[in-house]
Amino acid sequence: MKPALTINDKKAKRIIFSVSALIFLLIVFLGKIHLKLDLGFDTHVFALINAVLNTCVSIVLIWALIAVKKKNIQLHKNLMLTAILLSILFLLSYVAHHLLNGDTVFGGSGTIKLIYYFILLTHIPLAGIILPFILFAAYRGLTGEYAKHKKIVRYAYPLWLYVSITGVLIYILISPYYS
């Protein structure tokens, strides 16, 4: 299969680290900004959209794994690019939700509270660090550097899948406490 991109590691590293840092900083500072806008609808719908997008990402990631195991590389590539596109849409919806609604306090207690915070406390740091690995994996795949791609994906894929699945679980657990 012909590579979709030419290899330029220096430029790719600069772009990947810049985009990753910018998005990380956006998310960090997002908690400090709350827009008081009346859009005429319940803006918690963005959280539902996030959950739907995360569900779709999880399904696409699993489908992409099946495709690559069956040696259907073109389908795998298309599915992985779809997962990235869905993740970009997720990011836009996530930013909208947090800008318009701020943070929500979990109201559960007992075992469910422990489960929620365990999921949340593993989800957040992994979501924060996974982006450059996803982008490097995509870059290595698109440039045809499959050995390097596989080395990254060995760790990035299960973490991305975990983050997408736990994102849905977090929504299910926190959504009853949206005001």
pLDDT per position as a tens digit, 62-93: 999 999 999 999 999 999 999 999 999 999 99
The rounded percent of the chain whose pLDDT value lies above 90 is 80
H/E stretch holding 94: helix 73-101
pLDDT in tens, 39-61: 888 999 999 999 999 999 999 99
The rounded percent of the chain whose pLDDT value lies above 70 is 97
Q: Rounded to whole angstroms, what are the CA distances from 104 to 27, 99, 142? A: 15, 12, 39
Entry pTM: 0.90
| Of 163 and 40, more confident | 163
Q: Using the 8-state DSSP alphabet, how is residue 175 labeled?
A: G
- Measured distance CA(140)–CA(77) in Å, rounded: 12
pLDDT of residue 2: 62
